[in-house]
Amino acid sequence: MSKEILRPAFAGMGLLASLALIGCGGGSGQTRPGGTGGTTGAGGTSSTGGSSPTGTGGSASGTGGATMALACTANPTTPLLSNFNIADSSDGGITASGQWGTAGMLTGHTFGYPGTMANDAGVTSKVSSSIDMTKMALVLAGTVNAADYAGGGMSFDTCVNSTNWTGIQFTLGGTADGCTITFQLQTESQEPPTNKGTCTATQCYQFPQLKVTIPTDGSATVVHFADLNGTGMPAMPTDFEKEMFGLQWQFTSAAPPDGGVQVGCMPNMTITDVRWTTN
């Protein structure tokens, strides 16, 4: 699914981590859900998460082109997606290539994606993903220019029917450096055919989403599917929980509250212990 432009890829589908995102129709220059002007919106566009321009090909998945949509039949029965704790994927760990998960249950890859705007030095917003084996965490770090966005996350190797669960839980650490953080659920109907999705509209990547913050006490964040009702497409939890493609966290340059000059940010956020929940 990924493209050399900004689209995360599906590992099990031949996609690698840290791919660029792209907009519906590849290389269209769309923006990811969350918008580019310091707002997160109710359901912007995004790539394997988020709404950002996507490339025209060149990812591990090949050169692009329409592919058959995936059947959303996988329904994990164990809560843990990944604890990023060991260099294999037999029990929620992660491999050197960025594949996470539990063999025989659910696996996927990590990724980062860029934004669309360049600063005065000609550098475009971009967030990269890496694994800190000491902290056992996925690290999303990079630079987001003023009025722009970038992000990263965890793509699924298959389309997931998550009706066994009522939400997602994860623990955030590090810093967003003033960026707004938006958690987004990637959905099959908002991914274009080039990413094994079914979106053929002008605007794709309108994922269900919710603003989150990094707790100061290290506590876990729980996002209930009900919290995402009406924030993206599909609009209702009973629909989008049956077609999940991945999870992503998007950083957006925050709009100044007093109408002052908008500035960029340099997030360096950790994500640990990602799991399904019924709490």
pLDDT of residue 95: 76
pLDDT of residue 177: 96
% of the chain at pLDDT higher than 70: 74
Q: What distance lies between CA 11 and its chain's CA centroid?
A: 14
State the residue for tokens 């971009």.
Answer: 126
What are the per-10-residue average pLDDT scores of the chain (279 residues)? 33 32 31 37 37 32 52 87 72 78 86 94 95 90 96 94 95 96 97 89 94 97 98 96 96 83 92 94
Write the pLDDT tens digit of every residue in 126-166.
999 998 888 889 999 999 999 999 999 999 999 999 999 99
User: What's the mean per-residue pLDDT of the chain?
Assistant: 78
pLDDT of residue 81: 93
DSSP per residue over the chain, as a string? --BTTTB---TTTT--SS-B---TTSS-----TT-SSS--TTT---BTBT-----SS-BTTBS----PPPP--B---SSEEE---SSSSSSS-B-TTSEEEETTTEEEEEEEEEEEEE-TTSPEEEEEEEEETTTTEEEEEEEB-TT-EEEEEEEEEEEE--TT-SEEEEEEEEE-TT-EEEEEEEEGGGS-GGGT----SSS-----EEEE---TT-PPEEEEGGGGTTSSSS-SHHHHTTSEEEEEEEEEPPPPTTS-----B--EEEEEEEEEE--
Question: What pTM was computed for the model?
Answer: 0.77
pLDDT of residue 279: 86
Q: Are 6 and 13 in contact (CB under 8 A)?
A: no
Kindly report the CA angle at 170 between 182 and 39, in degrees rounded to 5?
5
- Tokens coding 268: 């360096």
Q: Mind listing the domains of the chain with CATH numbers?
A: 80-277 (2.60.120)
